[in-house]
């Protein structure tokens, strides 16, 4: 736990590598099309719980892994954003299923530490192209749903993307009270 706290307060922060391919806007909604690098990710999947509750369960596991609860006992530093996949259900709601994706810092990509917690998995993921929309505040499930809907509306008729899931992202530690950055990412098809 101490490693996790030390890592989040004093550790280095690396940005997940991506390239902006284009920018767009419709009415008052601005978005970017980005090509995001693939790589190795620490993941935690939670099912049968609402998104906000699932996040409260999954995030500490990922943070502990990053903070040193691993076979090497080392804190790796942070990579932002931390993303989590959500799965749309009926009527605009989300299914009770969530998967957190934390991109392992570049220094550890070739040989990431093995998680001590068996619910934390290391997975390889290909690069993806996304449509991204940014917003502020302490984001909750309803905020992500609303912003994903706005982004879909802005892209209507101009872009194709996956409908079976989308990513929600956060850039800031929980103790940051203002100037927070969140995004929703629709994966281009």
Q: What is the pLDDT of residues 84-106, one digit of tens each?
A: 999 999 888 999 999 999 999 99
Q: What local confidence, expressed as pLDDT, does residue 4 receive?
A: 41
- Grade residue 11 by pLDDT with cuts at 50, 70 and 90: low
d(CA 183, CA 168): 6
Model-level pTM?
0.91
| E-strand stretches of the chain | 13-15, 18-26, 29-36, 39-47, 78-80, 82-88, 94-103, 121-125, 128-135, 166-170, 182-187
Model confidence at 182: pLDDT above 50:
yes
In order of 85, 130, 150, the CA distances from 127 in angstroms are 15, 10, 25
Model confidence at 6: pLDDT above 60:
no
d(CA 188, CA 170): 20
User: Who wins on pLDDT, 31 or 173?
Assistant: 31
Q: What is the pLDDT of residues 99-125, one digit of tens each?
A: 999 999 999 999 999 999 999 999 999
Mean pLDDT of 155-168: 96
């Amino acid at each position: 736990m101490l490693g996790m706290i030390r890592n989040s307060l004093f550790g280095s922060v690396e940005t997940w590598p991506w390239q902006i391919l284009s920018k767009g806007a419709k009415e008052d909604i601005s978005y970017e099309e980005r090509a995001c690098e693939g790589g190795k990710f620490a993941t935690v999947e939670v099912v049968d719980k609402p998104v906000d509750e699932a996040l409260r369960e999954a995030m500490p596991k990922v943070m502990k892994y990053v903070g040193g609860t691993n076979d090497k006992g080392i804190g790796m530093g942070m990579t932002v954003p931390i993303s989590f996949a959500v799965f749309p259900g009926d009527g605009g709601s989300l299914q009770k299923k969530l998967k957190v994706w934390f991109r392992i810092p570049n220094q550890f990509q070739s040989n990431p530490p093995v998680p001590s917690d068996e619910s934390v998995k290391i997975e390889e993921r290909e690069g993806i192209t996304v449509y991204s929309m940014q917003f502020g505040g302490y984001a909750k499930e309803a905020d992500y749903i609303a912003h994903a809907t706005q982004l879909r509306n802005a892209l209507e008729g101009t872009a194709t993307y996956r409908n079976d899931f989308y990513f929600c992202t956060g850039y800031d530690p929980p103790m940051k009270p203002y100037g927070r950055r969140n995004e929703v990412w629709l994966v281009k098809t």
